[in-house]
Amino acid sequence: MVDFTLTDKQREVRALIHGFAATVLRPNALAFDRAHCVPDDFLMRLSMMARAFPSGGGDAELPSEYGGQGDSGAKPAAPKKGSQAQRFTLIGAEEMAWGDASILLCMPGPGLGGPPVRFMGTPEQRARFFGVFQTPGLHFGAYGLTEPGAGSDVSGIRTSCRKDGATWVLNGRKCYITNGARADWVVIFATVDPALGRAGQRAFVVERGTPGFSVGKIEEKMGLRASETAELVLEDCRVPEANLLGGEALYAGKEGFMGAMKTFDMTRPLVGVMAVGIARAAFEYTRDFVRENYLLARPLPRYAQLAAMVAEMGRLVDASRLLCWRAAWMADEGMPNAKEASMAKAYAARAAMRVCADAVQVLGAHGLEKHQLVEKWYRDIKVYDIFEGTAQIQRIVIAKRILREVPTW
């Protein structure tokens, strides 16, 4: 039975992370947004503080045996039933995004590169690439799928890979890669032959410093400006065969492509709940503003309309969270959740955009001022409707599954 009542421990961890988000992330959010980066010394302090969080507050993409708080990398296909690990992760992520979503994306760790290494990597590869995060210093992983000609259509990637002796030679360009410029390694998806579609795709871990692997331009974005998004260039880049995720046998079927997709089933509810965190921040700010400025002082008709908007914002935040928690609960129970993960992400992103837009509307010109956070949340939230699959792509994923389903009643 689904039961979303928080345990005492979950409540305690949420309160701890909330305090951290309110006192460490929020006060720095605007300055880092203007600077377009989060300084390394701040990230170092942040990661030391986050490591002290009890289970549920730390790095969910890093398996527990490598110092993180994700599921064990040793048995990636068999999540512990009823573990609540995914939902616990979502609780922490909402609070962190409430504090600042840009800083959250800059946190050291394997990031989106974590799930493919967990799901597709051999035990040796997991030990090698996750082991990096146990060494001192700031360490990042990244996920390189998108290319100038292939964003939503991931089967259309053109980055090529060719086997030459004991190495693979990679050529191509990846774009908009989160933390790509500072990553110790990036999971790069390439193809042996574009004509083969998904069957031709391979995933490699390309390490920083590999000859032929370089960072191109850093994007200047409208939102999530403190989070670095980089172009990556591969020019006759020779990668050892030991860096082909899962080894060649994995690619006999559709496993390579499925590995990329499985990443999304794990990360879409997480991305959805980050949108919830931003939306909740905008909702709470607006609620307090209406309380303070309109409740007693203004004529009822105006207050009534604004109160109705605040009510709608609250409804959207709660509904989004529940969809995200359902998808996470299914993952925790070991149930397939691709449809529900897409529903959660698609709904939460669109709902959060509406909440942030309404926050500006209720606040009037005050909502557009650069020195306060509502304007930033309004800019930040749009990215959530684009990355991890656009709204249109989520609809395709959902529709395919709904139309294939056979009712069981």
274-293: contacts with ligand FAD (CB under 6 A): none
Decide: helix, strand or coil at residue 38.
coil
Residue type, 46: L
Please spell the DSSP secondary structure of 135-198, one letter per residue: SSS--BEEEE--BTTBSS-GGG---EEEEETTEEEEEEEEEEEETTTT-SEEEEEEES-GGGGG
203-262: contacts with ligand FAD (CB under 6 A): 221, 224, 229
Q: Tell me how far apart the alpha carbons of residues 342 and 92 are, in angstroms, rounded to a whole number.
A: 20
Angle, CA 57 vertex, CA 182 and CA 82 arms, to 5°:
120
Q: Tell me how far apart the alpha carbons of residues 397 and 205 are, in angstroms, rounded to a whole number.
A: 27
> Residues in contact with ligand FAD, total (CB under 6 A)?
21
Query: Which residue number, 7 or 392, has a Cβ lying nearer to ligand FAD?
Result: 392
User: CB 227 → ligand FAD: shortest distance, Å?
Assistant: 7
Identify which range of 41-49, 72-80, 130-138, 389-397 contacts ligand FAD by CB under 6 A. Answer: 389-397
**Interface pattern 116-145 for ligand FAD (x via CB under 6 A):** --------------------------xxxx
Decide: helix, strand or coil at residue 337.
coil
Identified binder of ligand FAD from the candidate list 84, 86, 125, 146, rule CB under 6 A: 146
Query: Which residue number, 268 or 326, has a Cβ lying nearer to ligand FAD?
Result: 268
Identify which range of 50-58, 151-159, 287-295, 348-356 contacts ligand FAD by CB under 6 A. Answer: 151-159
Q: Tell me how far apart the alpha carbons of residues 46 and 328 are, in angstroms, rounded to a whole number.
A: 26
Identified binder of ligand FAD from the candidate list 101, 177, 290, 317, rule CB under 6 A: 177
Query: Which residue number, 143 or 257, has a Cβ lying nearer to ligand FAD?
Result: 143
Residue nearest to ligand FAD (CB): 151
Identify which range of 9-17, 257-265, 275-283, 382-390 contacts ligand FAD by CB under 6 A. Answer: 382-390
User: CB 55 → ligand FAD: shortest distance, Å?
Assistant: 26
Q: Please state, in angstroms and as integers, the Cα–Cα distance from residue 383 to each residue in 49, 101, 352, following that order.
A: 27, 11, 11
User: CB 12 → ligand FAD: shortest distance, Å?
Assistant: 32
Identified binder of ligand FAD from the candidate list 7, 23, 305, 392, rule CB under 6 A: 392
User: CB 397 → ligand FAD: shortest distance, Å?
Assistant: 11
Tokens of 377: 């949340």
Task: Provide the CA 319 distance to its chain's centre, in angstroms.
Answer: 20
Tokens of 303: 């207050």
Query: Which residue number, 189 or 289, has a Cβ lying nearer to ligand FAD?
Result: 189
Burial class (CB within 10 angstroms; exposed 0-12, middle 13-18, buried 19+) of 292: exposed
User: CB 218 → ligand FAD: shortest distance, Å?
Assistant: 12
- CB 70 within 8 Å of CB 64: yes
Task: Provide the CA 219 distance to its chain's centre, in angstroms.
Answer: 18
Please spell the DSSP secondary structure of 18-29, one letter per residue: HHHIIIIIHHHH
Q: Which of 61, 95, 375, 388 is catalytic?
A: 388
**Interface pattern 320-359 for ligand FAD (x via CB under 6 A):** ----------------------------------------
Identified binder of ligand FAD from the candidate list 112, 232, 290, 352, rule CB under 6 A: 112
Query: Which residue number, 68 or 113, has a Cβ lying nearer to ligand FAD?
Result: 113
User: CB 373 → ligand FAD: shortest distance, Å?
Assistant: 19
User: CB 112 → ligand FAD: shortest distance, Å?
Assistant: 5
- CB 206 within 8 Å of CB 231: no
Q: Tell me how far apart the alpha carbons of residues 132 and 134 are, in angstroms, rounded to a whole number.
A: 5
The reply to whether 176 sits near ligand FAD by the rule CB under 6 A is: yes
Query: Which residue number, 17 or 190, has a Cβ lying nearer to ligand FAD?
Result: 190
Query: Which residue number, 244 or 383, has a Cβ lying nearer to ligand FAD?
Result: 383
Q: Name the DSSP class of 219.
A: P
- CB 119 within 8 Å of CB 331: no
Q: Is 219 a catalytic residue?
A: no
Inter-axis angle of helices 85-106 and 255-293, nearest 10 = 80
- CB 277 within 8 Å of CB 95: yes
Q: Which residues bind ligand FAD (CB under 6 A)?
A: 112, 142-146, 151-153, 176-178, 221, 224, 229, 383, 386-387, 390, 392-393
Residues labelled catalytic: 388
